[in-house]
Amino acid sequence: MATTQATAPKAESKPRATKATKASTAAAESKAKADPLSAAPMDLPDALKDIPETIREMGQKGIEQARDAYEQAKGSFEDAGEAVEEAVEATREGVSSYSLKALDAAQKNTDATFAHLRELMAAKTMAEAVELQSSFVRSQFDLLSSQAKELQDASKTLAEEMTRPGRVAMEKAGSRFKTTI
With a pLDDT cut of 90, the percent of the chain lying above it is 32
pLDDT per position as a tens digit, 151-181: 999 999 888 888 887 788 778 777 766 665 5
- Domain range for 76 is 45-180
- DSSP at 137: H
pLDDT per position as a tens digit, 43-71: 556 666 667 788 878 888 999 989 988 88
Residue 78 belongs to a domain: yes
Residue 57 belongs to a domain: yes
How many domains does one find in the chain?
A: 1
Residue 58 belongs to a domain: yes
Report how far residue 121's alpha carbon sits from residue 140's, in angstroms, rounded to the nearest whole number.
Answer: 18
3-class SS string, 48-112: HHCCCHHHHHHHHHHHHHHHHHHHHHHHHHHHHHHHHHHHHHHHHHHHHHHHHHHHHHHHHHHHH
Residue 26 belongs to a domain: no
Instruction: Work out the pLDDT band at 94, boundaries 50, 70, 90.
Output: confident
Q: How many CB atoms lie within 10 A of CB 151?
A: 14
Residue 83 belongs to a domain: yes
What is the pTM assigned to this prediction? 0.52
